[in-house]
Structure formats: C-alpha cells, structure tokens
A and B are shown apart, each in its own frame.
Chain A
C-alpha cells in the first residue's frame, strides 16, 4: 500500500532441484529448474564431476523422518486468499496514520511464503518439510515544516494469518511512528569510545556479528575464523551463556530439519563464559569427528549449497537489572533499533548500525540519538560484556542473514547488556 492505494501485488513460483556431491571436504553442486529426467541427470553429472572412482550403491529404500512440529499451521499460506490479507494492510496503515498528525506518507508491504522441501541422501534418509513465513513491513514519513524524517518497523515469523492480532498491529504501527518522530529531535552521538548499553531484543545483532558467524564451523575447519583455536577457553564473563536454537516454535529462524535433512537442536555456543561448540553442517561434523551435525546446514534455496548458519541466536538472562545497568553508566549510549551489521571473520572486526537510541548522562537516559555505526572486535567485545540483565527476549523483526551470497531467515535476541567500551561513530560537535 502506497499513497493510500493497494494497487500492486506480486507472486513468485520457484521450482527446482539441487544435487550435492561430497568427497571429503570437497563439494560438487548443480541445480536445474527443469525437472525432466534428462535435465536432472545432466545436473547430477555436473555435480559428480569432482568425484573419481566407482559409483556408490543406492539405498534400497528411503525412510521418511517424522515430520517436525515447530510451525504447523491450521491453514497454509497458499490457501489464504488475497482479500483476507488486504484488511490487515489497511488496518495497520490506518493505525499509523492516526499515530501522529505529522505523518505524511505510509508504505505497508506484506509477504507470505509456503515453501515445500524434500531432501533425500545416499544413506536412505528422506525429509519432507513445509516452511511457512510471513512478514509485515510498515514505513512512515513525517513532515514538520521543511523537515522530513522516515522510520519503520516490521514483524516476521513462521506463523499463519491469525498471528496478526489487533494488538500486534497496534504495536508495529506505534513502533513505526515513534521511531520516525524520535528522529526530529535525535542527533548523531559524540565520536569515540563509549560504554554501550544494548537494549533487550533486537540487540542480539551483537551476538550475530561478534561471535555467531565466527562460530560457523566451515570457517573454523578452514582455520580462517578468529575463534578457530578457542573451544574450551573462556571468552566472556561467567554469567554469559549464548545459544543458537532451531527449535523455538514459529520463530523466523526455527527449522524442523536443516537443509541437509538433519533435525535441528539447541546448540550452546558459549556456556557460562566458555566457548562450547561451533555450528556444524555434516561436512564439518565429519571433519571434527563428531557423531552428528548440530542441524545448522542451511541454504537459501535449491540454487545454493548448504553452509553452517545461525538459526535463533540469543543470550540467556544475566544477574543484573536494566535499571542497574543504566545507572552504572556515567556517559554512554543505549542502542535500541538496528538496520544491519557485518563482520570480518578472520580479523574479528564487526559492526552494527544503530538507527535509534539514547544518550546516557550521569546514569540517566537523556536525549535521543540516531544513525551511528558501532565497530568493535568480537572477542574483545565479549570480554567487555560487564553486565547482563534478567530480561532476555527474542526480537520479532524480519532479520535475514547473508553469507556467500545466500540469505536465510534468522532470529536474534538479547537481555539488556552493557559492553564497557566500543567505538561509536559520531560527530565531534
């Protein structure tokens, strides 16, 4: 919806098959969108071009795994009519319009997917999964005199249409308006090293960038991650436990099975401050002599090879409270909403971009801040986590993680956390 009109709709059908051949740590991969025997055989030959020697025996039969249960919907998205979605789009736009008299433009976009996956392997495993996804995005622009500001919010999950309750729509519309209106007063913060308080929820981007990617086992088996020699070593204070969990019902990063057909699990990455496990696909599990992967082999679609990836990454509750944390900071910032982040796996340098936040002066939250990049080094930032509160929560935003040109849906969360020092992009004035 734009300028009050819902005049545009898009539909996309993706259909294809991908074949992966693994020899040791080597991978041959091919896909085709033509499902004729001839085209699939040609793809299989291309994928197998890396292999040498005699052919392997095919399994006598494929055994179907028990379907997972993390996102069963009463009505699949492909069975929901367009006219059932339009009232939700109109309602959220109406709520945003009513949010502030200076709201000038509202864009609402809606997306739903019904993804069906079938995976078989030479060991006779067969997995069938049906993965729903939905996302609602609200963007608002407000105008005061000659000055315009834009902000937004979004919701995403593996839920059905009933998830869009009036309360949820009110929340997402209010967030979009509040984040926009804040910007009229907000300034970029002072430049330099400052204590950073990460607000509970979306601040899980810290974990995603500072440690999550570095714990993906492909980087470690290739020895290119800064965490390659740290398993069993202390990397954070004792109160820090970080998990990556594929089993959280209906969350955006949840999976019944990963894209290698393995069941997902809750993987503890950091256990009471000690580095515990990498995120494994089947190749890295074999490389490290493990009996099974961690169910972390994920891919964007049949066009891509599975890689070790995150699912729902979060830190468990710590011993402090949010108020204690804010009160402990003499001069610093609160980071509240984010747009994106990035990491350099080997050097360990990572960033995330704060869209909205606050200054802290003398232990109190004061003026709003905006648009600043935070840059730090992963292991150093983890060591600098000096406090964590008892308010851990997952963010409901539509996060997508990019790696090697592939995007996969993920979730992230965090309790309120204090990192004692990171470099804050700011202006000197």
Chain B
C-alpha cells in the first residue's frame, strides 16, 4: 500500500496523476496530493472524555478537455482505479459544454515565488504524545473544574501535520508542509433558573512554543463564562458599537465575501460597481499578507499555484483589489490575483479595549456573535450578539438576545477607530473596532 507521509512521495504521486490524465486524453491537468495526521484529546471535569486519531489522504485532479472541466477527488490512490477513473472522466467531459474561460493559470504567474522561510513546521511537535496532550488538558482543567458555579468544564488539545504537493501539465511543481497545535477550554456555569451560561477560550499556532499558557486559557474561559452570569436582554437603541478583536473577523468576512471574482462576475456583489470608489471609512486598511513567518494562513503559492504576494484589499475608504482566480479573471478580462485570502491583516490604530471603551463613554461592547447572515448582493445584514453595555466609559452589565442590523457598507462607513491591539492567533489579525451610531434591537 502506498505510504504518502513525505513530500517527495506526494510530489511523485501528483506528477504521476498529471501524466495519467494526459495519457487518458486530457489537454491539461492539475493534481494535488495531500496527507494529514491529527489527534484530538478531550478532558471533561478531570477525566479523559475522548481521544481521536485521524489519518487522511486525498488526491484531487482537475482535467481540462476541449474547454470542459472535470474535478475528481478521491482517497483511493491506487494506480488501477485511478487510471480507470481518468479514462471514464475524460469520456464523460464530452457530455459537458465547452467554455472558453476554462484553463490552467498562465505559467508566468507561477514564477517569482518568494524565498521566505515560513517556519510552518514545528519539528519538535512530533514529541507531543498522549501523555503530553493529557497534561496540557489537565493544566487547563485544573483552573476550571470544581470552581464556584461550574457545572462542567472541558479542555481540548488538538495537533497534527499536513503535507501536500501539486503538479500541472503546464509546468507547475510545488509542495507545502505545516504543523498545527491548539488548546481550547470551555466552561458551563449554573446561572439563574435553568440557564447555564458558557464561556470559552482557545488559541491555535504552527509551533507549540507560540501557544499561550494553558492555565491562562483555563482562567480566561472561566472569566468569560462568569462575565455572562446575569445577562439580560439589552435595549432597542442606536449607539456606539465596540467589537472585541476576537469577534471583529465576522464583520470583515461579511464585507469581503463579495470581493471575489465569482460574486462580481455573477452580479452578486455589493462591490460590483464600487471598486476603487469611496464606499467605507478611511480608517480601515486591510492587506492580505501571505508571507508572514509562523502565521496560520501563510503560503508561498495559492491553490492554483499562483506565487503569493501581499495584496491591499481596503485602503483610503475603497476596495482596491478583488480576490480573482484564473477562471473569473478570464471571464472579467482581468489579471488573476488569488482566489482566496491568506492572512488578513488590519493595519493597527491606537489604544486598547479599555481606552476605546473609555473614549466611547456609552454603547454596546460585543464579545461574540450568534447566528445572523448578510446579503452579498445588497449588503443588508443582521447579526445576533452577546456582550456588555458600556456605561460611564466602562464595560458594564452583560447583555444578550440582541441583534445589530443594517447595511454592511453603511456600517463600515461608520467605523471611527481601530485599536492598536490585534489578536494574532489565527489567519485574521484584527484589533478592537469602534463604529458610531449603529442600530441595535432588543427589548
């Protein structure tokens, strides 16, 4: 049986799949072979609850036949079934219709790959065994289990290693390896009546040495749960919105989702006629940064093989660039950038949560969202929230069962400040954000 646990074997597998596709009659092909191993360890109330081991492998092949496109993804990597499938797939594409925009990227875009060490692999992580995972969980659990009002506490450690290699019939070859490790604590408390408020805290990183102290994670999860005790439905009001740096990503994702080639070309984008036009607050500068060492979203090339480089998304009150893959770039008559984001980094402003809350004087401080959605075409949105009232420049009583509702472009034109306190454990690096005169619904 094939063992694909090293990049060399993956690269050979991807190259072989491209050759098979060509032999089966494809004009062009792209193949990606990947493998992952991961472990999750869960401790609840001091005892092991679940230990899960995963071992996955995938091969994905894109076939281009006379302007038709077929993608095949499989975990069955044997030569025989793969060769049979390619022959069938090439024949099947005949049933599809030709589309002049279906093509591999221009090979010129593969060139200029940065020579940065992304430090995506922690070589020492392999020494983390079940005993070590349990010790990390118990370090978190010890700060949560058995404390006042705690009904139940859970601690999770997850870690693993990914490897993947890609090859194409027009000259691309590349590979990527990464490790990841994370810790998460969650607490359920006895609240008023039947209510059992929860709080959680977690971090993820490429290197174990970049994790935060597990005892701090446990303390923070408990603090966050306790902050929910006595939560009431907040008022229906128009006031200042202060969004926690860990919650702000949800708003930015909603604003950016329509900034993709697919959305714009299909007329499903609030940005369709607004590229490079003043549409939101000048306070927001957002850059896609793929080359940051150790960051979770870093990469040297994207999913199509396009060499990664920083790209300004928002600056000076306008959307400056779209996320454009080859297909939609061709449809729109533009040059591809990348079909997806890497690390989204908001240029920090000044101040931290306390100083921004003090400046606001009154308002609503949002710690997390519950449900909600937005319309990518029109920008209308509505989100459930949990957080606190801001009273006298301080974080006050906990509130919930409230919604914030409006239009995304209008909301981001009301962005008055971003803090100097970005949260960097993840692929979003966003500070505290402050919006003026936002519409909340509650009691």
The answer to whether A and B come from one shared complex is yes
* B89 and A223 contact, CB distance less than 8 A: no
| Residues A371 and B44 in contact in the complex (CB < 8 Å), given A6-B97, A347-B198, A426-B441 | no
Q: Judge whether A375 is part of the interface by a CB distance below 8 angstroms.
A: yes
A351 touches B384 (CB 8 A): yes
Docked complex Cα distance between A188 and B404 (Å): 12
Interchain CB contact (< 8 A) of A347 among B89, B97, B197: B197
Contact between B69 and A9 (Cβ–Cβ < 8 Å)? yes
Q: Specify which chain A residues have a CB less than 8 angstroms from the CB of B73 in the assembled complex.
A: 10-13
Contact call B381/A7, Cβ cutoff below 8 A: no
Expressed in whole angstroms, the minimum distance between the Cβ of A129 and any Cβ of chain B is: 20
Asked if A371 and B373 make an inter-chain contact with CB atoms under 8 angstroms apart, the answer reads yes
**Pairwise interchain contact A13-B76, C-beta atoms closer than 8 A:** yes
Contact of A224 with B268 in the complex, beta carbons under 8 Å: no
How close is A396's CB to chain B, nearest CB, in angstroms?
21
Nearest-CB residue, chain B, relative to A25: B49
Complexed CA–CA distance, A347 and B405 (Å): 23
**A351:B370 contact, CB within 8 angstroms:** yes
Q: Which B residues from 38 to 62 make CB contacts under 8 A with A?
A: 44, 47-57
Q: Give which listed residue, B51, B70, B231, B383, contacts A9 with CB less than 8 A.
A: B70
Q: How far is the CA of A139 from the CA of B267 in the complex (A)?
A: 12
Task: Please state if B401 and A11 are interface contacts (CB–CB under 8 Å).
Answer: no
Please determine whether A425 and B198 come into contact, CB atoms closer than 8 angstroms: no
Is B151 touching A224 in the complex (CB atoms < 8 A)?
yes
CB <8 Å contact, B373 and A340? yes
Asked whether A9 lies within 8 Å of B442 as measured between CB atoms, the reply is no
Whole-angstrom distance between the alpha carbons of A105 and B377 in the complex?
12
Q: How many residues of A contact B (CB 8 A)?
A: 92
**In whole angstroms, what is the CA distance A258 to B115 when docked?**
51
Over the window 67-87 of chain B, the binary record of Cβ atoms lying under 8 Å from chain A Cβ atoms (1 yes, 0 no) is 111111111100000000100
What B residues does A11 contact at CB under 8 A? 70-73, 85, 89
Residues in chain B near residue A29, CB distance under 8 A:
50-53
A224 touches B267 (CB 8 A): no
B interface footprint on A1-44 (CB within 8 Å = 1, 0 otherwise): 01101111111111110000000011111111110101100010
A132 within 8 A of B: no
Contacts of A237 in B (CB 8 A): none
Q: How far is the CA of A349 from the CA of B71 in the complex (A)?
A: 41
Task: Return chain A residues, CB-CB under 8 Å to B419.
Answer: none
Verify A226–B405 contact, CB threshold 8 A.
Answer: no
Q: Which of A314-351 contact B (CB under 8 A)?
A: 339-342, 344-351
Q: Measured between alpha carbons, how far is A2 from B268 in the docked complex, in Å?
A: 13
Residues from chain B with a CB closer than 8 A to the CB of A10 are 70-73
Bound Cα distance from A149 to B378, whole angstroms: 7
Q: Which residue of A lies closest to B2 (CB)?
A: A34
Flag whether B98 is at the interface (Cβ < 8 A). Answer: yes
Which residues from chain B contact A426 at a C-beta distance below 8 Å? Answer: 382, 403, 405, 439, 441
Q: Report the bound CA distance from A65 to B148 in whole Å.
A: 49
Measured between beta carbons, the chain B residues less than 8 angstroms from A374 are 403
Q: How far is the CB of A82 from chain B (nearest CB, A)?
A: 5
Among listed A108-116, A140-148, A155-163, A167-175, interface-contacting one: A140-148
- List chain A residues, Cβ under 8 A from B47: 26
Contact stretch, chosen from A45-53, A91-99, A284-292: A45-53
Complex CA gap A25/B44 in Å reads: 11
Contact bitstring B164-200, A, C-beta under 8 A = 1, else 0: 0000000000000000000000001101001111100
Kindly state whether residue A63 has any CB partner on chain B within 8 Å: no
Instruction: List A residues 210-265 near B (Cβ within 8 Å).
Output: 222-230
Asked whether A12 lies within 8 Å of B74 as measured between CB atoms, the reply is yes
Indicate whether A277 reaches chain B with its CB closer than 8 angstroms.
no
Q: How far is the CA of A11 from the CA of B85 in the complex (A)?
A: 10
In the complex, A344 Cα to B370 Cα: how many Å?
A: 8
A78 at the interface (CB under 8 A from B): no
A352 CB within 8 Å of chain B: yes
Min CB–CB distance A299 → chain B (angstroms): 12
Q: Quick check: A303 and B56 within 8 Å, CB to CB?
A: yes
Residues of A within 8 A of B97 (CB): 5-7
B95 within 8 A of A: yes
Task: Report the minimal beta-carbon distance from A217 to chain B, rounded to whole angstroms.
Answer: 14
Q: If the complex has contacts A31-B54, A141-B268, A353-B372, are A372 and B194 also in contact, measured as CB distance less than 8 A?
A: no
Shortest Cβ distance from B191 into chain A, in angstroms? 7
A428 to B404, CA, bound (A): 11
Known contacts A305-B52, A373-B403, A373-B405; is-contact A340 B371 (Cβ 8 Å): yes
CA distance A233 to B213 in the complex (A): 44
Question: Is B400 on the interface with A (CB-CB < 8 A)?
Answer: yes
Q: Of A3, A47, A376, which one neighbours B401 at CB under 8 angstroms?
A: A376
Q: Is the CB of A375 within 8 A of B402?
A: yes
Given the known interface contacts A16-B75, A347-B195, A347-B231, the answer about A36 and B69 at a Cβ–Cβ threshold of 8 Å is no
A185 within 8 A of B: no
Within 8 A of A (CB), among B365-402: 370-378, 380-384, 386, 400-402
Question: Measured between alpha carbons, how far is A15 from B74 in the docked complex, in Å?
Answer: 8
Residue contact A373 to B198, C-beta cutoff 8 Å: no
CA distance A32 to B75 in the complex (A): 10
- Please state if B196 and A351 are interface contacts (CB–CB under 8 Å): no
Q: How far is the CA of A150 from the CA of B96 in the complex (A)?
A: 26
| CB of B9 to closest CB in A, whole Å | 13
Could you say which of A49, A352, A371 has the most chain B C-beta atoms within 10 Å of its C-beta?
A: A371
- A210, chain B: closest CB distance, angstroms: 12
Instruction: With A12-B74, A375-B403 as known contacts, state yes or no: A7 contacts B439, CB within 8 Å.
Output: no
A59 at the interface (CB under 8 A from B): no
Return the chain B residue nearest A46 by Cβ.
Answer: B53
- Chain A's closest residue to B197 (CB) is A347
Complex CA distance for A304 and B288, rounded to whole angstroms? 33
Partner of A349, one of B57, B370, B405: B370
Contact B403 A423 (CB under 8 A): yes
Q: List residues of chain B with CB under 8 Å of any chain A CB.
A: 1-2, 44, 47-57, 67-76, 85, 89, 92-93, 95-99, 102, 130, 151-152, 188-189, 191, 194-198, 228, 231, 233, 236, 238, 266-268, 272-273, 331, 370-378, 380-384, 386, 400-406, 439-443
Given contacts A188-B406, A371-B380, 8 further A-B contacts (CB under 8 A): A5-B98, A11-B70, A11-B73, A81-B95, A183-B378, A223-B152, A349-B401, A371-B373
4 cross-chain pairs, A with B, having the tightest CB-CB distances, nearest first: A351-B371, A425-B403, A346-B196, A191-B441
Can you list 29 contacts pairing A with B, beta carbon distance less than 8 Å?
A: A8-B69, A9-B69, A10-B73, A11-B72, A11-B73, A12-B74, A13-B74, A27-B49, A29-B51, A30-B53, A31-B55, A33-B55, A34-B55, A38-B1, A46-B53, A141-B266, A141-B377, A222-B44, A228-B194, A229-B194, A346-B195, A346-B196, A347-B197, A373-B371, A423-B402, A423-B442, A426-B403, A426-B441, A428-B238
Residues of chain A touching chain B, judged by Cβ–Cβ distance below 8 Å, are 2-3, 5-16, 25-34, 36, 38-39, 43, 46-47, 49-50, 81-83, 86, 104-105, 107, 139, 141, 143, 146, 148-150, 183, 188, 191-193, 222-230, 303, 305, 339-342, 344-353, 355, 370-377, 379, 423-428
